[in-house]
Amino acid sequence: MATQSSRAAARLMVAPSVIVLFIWMIVPLAMTIWFSFRIYRLLSPDRTGWAGFRNYAWFFNSPDFWLAISNTLLLVGGVLVITIVLGVLIALLIDQPVWGQGPLRILVISPFFVMPPVAASIWENLFLHPQNGLFAAAAIGVGAQPILFMESYPMASVILIVSWEWLPFATLILLTALQSLSSEQLEAAEMDGASAVNRFRYIVLPHLIRAITVVVLIQTIFLLGIFGEIFTTTQGGPGSASTTLPYMIYKQAVIAKDIGRAAAGGIIAVILANIVAYFLMRSMGKHLDA
Amino acid sequence: MGKITLKSVRKSFGEVDVIPGIDLSIEDGEFVVFVGPSGCGKSTLLRLIAGLEDASGGSIAIDGVEATDLPPAKRRLAMVFQSYALYPHMSVRKNIAFPLKMAGMSAEDQAKKVDNAARILNLTSYLDRRPGQLSGGQRQRVAIGRAIVREPAAFLFDEPLSNLDAALRVSMRQEISELHQTLKTTMIYVTHDQVEAMTMADKIVVLNAGRIEQVGSPMELYRSPANTFVAGFIGSPKMNLIDGAEAAKHGAQTIGIRPEHIDIHDSGPWQGMVVLSEHLGSDTFLKVNATGLGTLTVRASGEVALRHGDTIRFAPQPGKMMRFGSDGKALA
Ligand SMILES: Nc1ncnc2c1ncn2[C@@H]1O[C@H](COP(=O)(O)OP(=O)(O)O)[C@@H](O)[C@H]1O
Ligand SMILES: [Mg+2]
């Protein structure tokens, strides 16, 4: 199949979609880069012209910038760790033959279908709320002071909510990977004298590593842009304790109405995503090969 | 040591009685082959011995020690699976060393044992490859290597050669037999192929629908099958089983005569038309549509110039005919 002419034909065939996709990507990117070097404030439309690197400089000099970067990375890292550890455990559990397995699996998957602002509202008002929340009721029930989640632990609260939303995705991918593990391998390991813990460590975990890599890569892409959950709950606060890079960009674009700065923030976010992707591919990319 | 005793071992999956009750004794150092048609419960029986399935009843003893409730790891048995069940992310070396590592053996001792096993099995130059980079026969050898380093009380093989091509199957068959000569460890070998059973076994256990039909050496089963099932299953090509008037003449429900025990000569009592002749060079197998007997297989040695449509007369060799009663059991 892979003759010279068939390869040329294949290139020709896919060319239209590649070109469309390239334009689809490059036009918004080029416009963002363009705006990031312009003075473009919606509140003073008469002031235009080149801004040089001033839009970028504003970000790097902003007192919140490095906090926002570290919050973004903390959110991504925290959610990844929680979803993968719990995802593996839940996948192991629901892979067991139990009564009502089908409905159980659907229940486990269902949080994924709740849209982010709704999920965040439910968590904020029904679980984490210091007066009406379930956790507050539980705390009062055992005679303890209710925790002010959004005020005292804003990042942890956001990470908790986002983890709840993404756990089903991780579980689903890991469960399918788990089901593709041949039972004979596990039986062979059992006969070879491997305890349950060793079977997990030497057989199950290496088998799952590819699925884990896929989960990490896909989730990272989505988690770097998490916005709705922060917007509905902490609003980046208290102060700027839970401000992330996307939230900072939002504040520049919608509240300060400074499109130039927002565009510069967007480009910084693209660069951050590429740095993260580079390190991820370097450390985990090899697991994607067959 | 590896003496294995089964006492009325039963296994049912839900409602289905896969093994209704088996008594069997396997002596130390024996090469025992479980043979039977697909789905007759051979794998299930082997897995019961291995401890991968829990018996629904009865008891299993290994070297006189009650083992029915022991977990697989405690039974000192090693198993070679049909799919090889190698660990795909580990090198051949690590695969073979895995049981030793699990037993907490020191790295030097592990290396020594792995090298030794690799030498016996001609795997030395493949030790650093992954299973995915090996051929079927090499994978099979790795699986055997992983079994022998443990120095088990007995080896269990579940159709280990069924994924190999015909030529490799013959050579691996010989290798496993030689391994048995060298190690002198008990081996239990499951197959649906009666040729493997005949060529390898000290003792054959013929299974049918979860029951033992007969236990014996290959030649015992060949010479005196206990019933029509064993008669039809052991031997290649299959024994001719004849019902009806001809059988009644010999005072039996069914008579059996092997293709190699029929002679072609003009004064023979039976007559028929050749419908197919298979020339193998050393032998010629004729399918003969015999009058009053049905279709029989006849072996003629060497090259025979008989073709489709030829009529021949033939006779059973004296004393080679077997007689079976209405219950299928052999008559004395
Ligand atoms: N885990 C199981 N659950 C239900 N039935 C099973 C199971 N394992 C095997 N069986 C049934 O037991 C019978 C014997 O199977 P098996 O021992 O694998 O046969 P063989 O190895 O002789 O081909 C088959 O009818 C099969 O369907
Ligand atoms: Mg089987």
What is the structure's pLDDT at A133? 84
A260: which DSSP letter? Answer: H
User: To test the ligand 1 pocket, which listed residue (B38, B43, B162) has its Cβ within 8 A of the most ligand atoms?
Assistant: B43
CA distance B62 to chain A (A): 15
Nearest CA in chain A to B97: A192
Query: In this structure, what CATH number is given to the domain that contains residue B87?
Result: 3.40.50.300
Rounded to the nearest angstrom, the distance between the alpha carbon of B42 and the centre of ligand 2 is: 6
Place of tokens 């590819």: A210
Is B181 a member of any domain?
A: yes
Check whether residue B74 and residue B219 sit in a common domain.
yes
Q: Which residues, in sequence order, are CB contacts of A221 under 8 Å at separation 6+? A: A273
> What pTM, to 2 d.p., does this model score?
0.82
Q: Do A191 and B52 touch (CB under 8 A)?
A: yes
Packing angle, helices B136-148 and B92-102, rounded to 10: 20
Q: Which domain, by its residues, includes B259?
A: 255-324
Are B10 and B76 within one domain?
yes
Ligand 1 atom closest to the Cα of residue B42 is: 22
Amino acid at residue number A144 = A
Q: Where are the domains of chain A?
A: 21-287
Angle between helices A65-94 and A154-179 (to 10 degrees): 40
The answer to whether the CB of B47 is under 6 A from ligand 1 is no
* Amino acid of residue A159: I
Task: State the first-to-last Cα distance of chain B, in angstroms, to the nearest integer.
Answer: 38
* Residue A238 confidence (pLDDT): 87
Angstrom distance (rounded) from CA A40 to CA B226:
98
Counting Cα atoms < 13 Å in the Cβ hemisphere of B34 gives: 30
Residue B287 CA to its chain's centroid (Å): 26
Contacts of B89 in chain A (CB under 8 A): 206-207, 209
Instruction: State whether B125 and B26 are in the same domain.
Output: yes
Measured CA to CA, the distance from residue B85 to residue A207 in angstroms comes to 13
Q: Which of B178, B193, B228 is the last residue of a domain?
A: B228
What is the interface pTM, i.e. ipTM, of the complex?
0.84
Of A184, A195, A203, the CB nearest to B83: A184
C-alpha–C-alpha distance, residues B39 and B50, integer Å: 18
Q: What is the structure's pLDDT at A1? A: 55
Residue to mutate (ligand 1; options B12, B17, B18, B159; most atoms within 8 A of CB)? B18
What confidence score (pLDDT) does residue B255 get? Answer: 92
Find out whether the beta carbon of B49 lies less than 6 Å from any atom of ligand 1. no
Q: Read off the CATH number of the domain in which B264 is found.
A: 2.40.50.140
- Please indicate whether residue B242, judged by its CB atom, sits closer than 6 Å to ligand 1: no
User: What are the chain B neighbours of A184 within 8 Å (beta carbons)?
Assistant: 81-83, 85
* Block mean pLDDT (10 aa), chain B, length 332: 90 92 93 94 94 92 91 92 92 94 92 92 91 90 92 93 88 91 93 92 94 94 93 91 89 92 90 91 91 90 84 90 90 80
User: B159 CA to middle of ligand 2, Å?
Assistant: 7
Ligand 1 nearest atom to the CA of residue B40, by list position: 22
Residue B152 and residue B293 in one domain: no
The verdict on the CB of residue B43 being under 6 Å from ligand 1 is yes
CATH class of the structural domain A21-287: mainly alpha
Contact B150 A203 (CB under 8 A): no
Looking at the structure, tell me whether residues B111 and B212 fall in a common domain: yes
Residues of chain A in contact with residue B153, where contact means CB-CB under 8 angstroms, are: none
Q: What is the pLDDT of residues A129-150, one digit of tens each?
A: 888 888 888 988 888 888 888 8
Regarding the beta carbon of B35 and ligand 1, being less than 6 Å apart is answered: no
Q: Are residues B275 and B142 in the same domain?
A: no
Burial of B140 (0-12, 13-18, 19+ CB in 10 A): buried
Are the beta carbons of B81 and A187 separated by less than 8 Å? Answer: yes
Q: Is B40 in the pocket of ligand 1 (CB under 6 A)?
A: yes
In a domain, B250, yes or no: no
A7-A12-A14-A18 Cα dihedral, nearest 10 degrees: 120
Kindly state the DSSP code that residue A113 receives in the 8-state scheme: G
Q: What integer pLDDT is reported at residue A2 of this predicted model?
A: 67
The label of the residue with tokens 């290597």 reads B145
Counting every residue written for chain A, the total comes to 290
What confidence tens digit (pLDDT) does each residue in B170-208 have? 988 999 999 999 999 999 999 999 999 999 999 999 999
Atom of ligand 1 nearest to the CA of B44: 17
- Flag residues of chain A having pLDDT under 50: none
> Is the minimum distance from the CB of B42 to ligand 1 under 6 angstroms?
yes
Total count of domains within chain B: 2
Of chain B residues 100-119, which have a CB less than 8 A from chain A?
A: 102-103
Q: In the prediction, which pLDDT does B166 show?
A: 87
Together in a domain, B31 and B121? yes
* B241 in any annotated domain: no
- Which candidate from A184, A192, A209 shows the least CB-CB separation from B99? A192
Q: B129, B162 in Cβ contact below 8 A?
A: no
